[in-house]
Amino acid sequence: MEPSDDPTLAPAAKPKRSGRSKPAARRVIAIGGGKGGIGKSLVSANLGIALARRGASVVLLDADLGGANLHTCLGVPQPPRSLSDFVAKRVDRLEDVLAPTGIERLQLASGAMDELDAANPKHSQKNKLLRHLKALDVDYVLLDLGAGTSFNVLDFFLAADTGLVVLLPEPTSIENAYRFIKAAFFRRLQLHAPDEGFEQLIAQALAPRDGAGMATPWEAAEHLRQTSPEAAAQFEQILAGFHPLLVVNQARTRADYDVGSTVAAAWKKFFGLDLGYLGAIAHDDAVWQAVRARRPLLELSPDGPAAQALLRVAENLIAWER
Ligand SMILES: Nc1ncnc2c1ncn2[C@@H]1O[C@H](COP(=O)(O)OP(=O)(O)O)[C@@H](O)[C@H]1O
Ligand SMILES: [Mg+2]
| CA neighbor of 249 nearest in space, from 285, 282, 278 | 282
Residues by chain with Cβ below 5 Å of ion ligand 2: 40-41, 64
**What pTM, to 2 d.p., does this model score?**
0.90
Element (H, E) at 271: helix 259-271
Ligand 1 touching residue 288 (CB < 6 A) = yes
Mean pLDDT by 10 residues, the chain (322 residues): 44 44 67 93 98 97 88 94 89 95 97 65 75 92 93 90 97 94 92 88 84 82 92 92 96 96 90 92 98 97 98 96 84
Ligand 1 touching residue 287 (CB < 6 A) = yes
Tell me, in angstroms, the distance from the centre of ligand 2 to residue 244's CA: 19
Which of 288, 292, 310 to mutate to test ligand 1, by most ligand atoms within 8 A of the CB atom?
A: 288
Q: Using the CB atoms, write b or e for 258-268: b if 16+ within 10 Å.
A: bbbbebbeebe
Ligand 1 touching residue 274 (CB < 6 A) = no
Domains, the chain, with CATH or none: 7-189+244-321 (3.40.50.300)
What pLDDT, on a 0 to 100 scale, did the predictor assign at position 19?
42
Q: What is the greatest pairwise CA distance in the chain? A: 61
Element (H, E) at 152: helix 151-159
Element (H, E) at 278: strand 276-282
Q: For ligand 1, what atom is nearest to the CA of residue 35? A: 22
DSSP three-state, residue 157? helix
Distance CA 270, CA 214 (A): 9
Distance CA 218, CA 223 (A): 9
Tell me, in angstroms, the distance from the centre of ligand 2 to residue 74's CA: 12
DSSP three-state, residue 131? helix
Q: For ligand 1, what atom is nearest to the CA of residue 282? A: 1
What pLDDT, on a 0 to 100 scale, did the predictor assign at position 265?
94
What pLDDT, on a 0 to 100 scale, did the predictor assign at position 67?
83
Residue 73 carries which side chain, given as an amino acid letter? Answer: C
| CA neighbor of 254 nearest in space, from 278, 280, 276 | 280
Dihedral Cα 262, 268, 273, 276, nearest 10 deg: 30
The residues near 153 (Cβ < 8 Å, ≥ 6 apart) are 32, 145, 146, 147
